[in-house]
């Protein structure tokens, strides 16, 4: 089964949403500068963010879906495994109980 999710947003809405999710139109790059192995300083530069607001929002919501689905499927499969373990314990207990004989003289 294939599920599709679509959202129609204006450019302004995309920017607002992206900024609320911590996206910025620029990123800061910091480079260490060394002069004659004596002086060290850092130079920061503002650069355009290589990830657009649109792609950022897509990444955020895809990640949310992946995290949620992973959690739900893992919990579901864990419950199945716990049931299998309990059934195995019951079978083994029954087999061991039937295999033991005791007598008092």
- Structure confidence by residue, pLDDT tens digits, 9-62: 999 999 999 999 999 999 999 988 877 777 777 889 999 999 999 999 999 999
pTM, two decimal places: 0.71
pLDDT band of 103, cuts 50, 70, 90: confident
pLDDT for the residue 38:
73
Cα gap 21→25, rounded to integer Å: 12
């Amino acid at each position: 089964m294939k599920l599709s999710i679509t959202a129609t947003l204006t450019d302004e809405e995309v920017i607002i949403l992206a900024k609320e999710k911590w996206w910025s139109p620029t990123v800061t790059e910091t480079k260490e500068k060394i002069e004659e192995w004596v002086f060290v300083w850092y130079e920061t530069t503002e650069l355009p963010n290589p990830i657009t607001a649109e792609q950022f929002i897509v990444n955020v919501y895809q990640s949310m879906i992946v995290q949620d689905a992973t959690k739900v499927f893992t919990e579901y499969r864990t419950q199945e495994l716990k049931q299998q373990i309990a059934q195995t314990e019951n079978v083994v207990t029954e087999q061991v109980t039937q295999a033991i004989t005791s007598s008092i003289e």
